[in-house]
Homo-oligomer: A and B are copies of this chain.
Amino acid sequence: VVEWFDDLAVGMRFKSPEKAVTREEIIRFASEFDPQPYHLDEAAAEQTPLKGLAASGWHTAAIAMRLVVELRPFGPHPLLGLGVDELRWLAPVRPGDKLHLWGLGGANDLAVLVVNKEAINRRLPKRGGTV
């Protein structure tokens, strides 16, 4: 368990529990925050470039946050982010997909810990977004 800043090291690895994403969750999140055809309705979603119902990218990002909180990479200390760079949505998250998070501690010029996280979709060989 990481308890102090000095316990952190570049190259530390983290792996989160897994979260299954349901159709109901996808539609509920999208209805509130991203009401577009890809995220609300199977038939309409088929006609889009995503070729079927998929979670809002912001939903995937929010699930990734939940997984980080469950992971507690910094032990008892809460997590407070300054921002995000290079977030990429590489593949659609479908109903029933199971996501987990994989992380690697790095460092930037400001000596702020940079956590490189990757949400892995178990259905796919190697996919997901980097948050």
Interface residues of A, Cβ cutoff 8 Å to B: 29, 32-38, 48-50, 56-59, 61-63, 65-66, 69, 78-89, 129
Does B83 contact A49, Cβ atoms closer than 8 Å? no
Residues of chain B contacted by A34 (CB below 8 angstroms): 62, 65-66, 69
Option from B80, B84, B88 in Cβ contact (under 8 Å) with A87: B84
A97 to chain B minimum Cβ distance, whole angstroms, is: 17
How many copies altogether?
A: 2
A49 to chain B: closest residue by CB: B80
Does B61 contact A58, Cβ atoms closer than 8 Å? yes
Residues of chain B contacted by A129 (CB below 8 angstroms): 83
A-B contact pairs, 23 of them (CB 8 A): A33-B63, A33-B66, A34-B65, A34-B66, A34-B69, A35-B66, A36-B69, A36-B79, A37-B78, A48-B80, A49-B80, A57-B81, A58-B62, A59-B62, A62-B62, A81-B89, A82-B89, A83-B89, A83-B129, A84-B84, A84-B87, A85-B86, A85-B87
Does A78 contact B36, Cβ atoms closer than 8 Å? yes
A86 to B29, CA, bound (A): 24
A65 to B87, CA, bound (A): 15
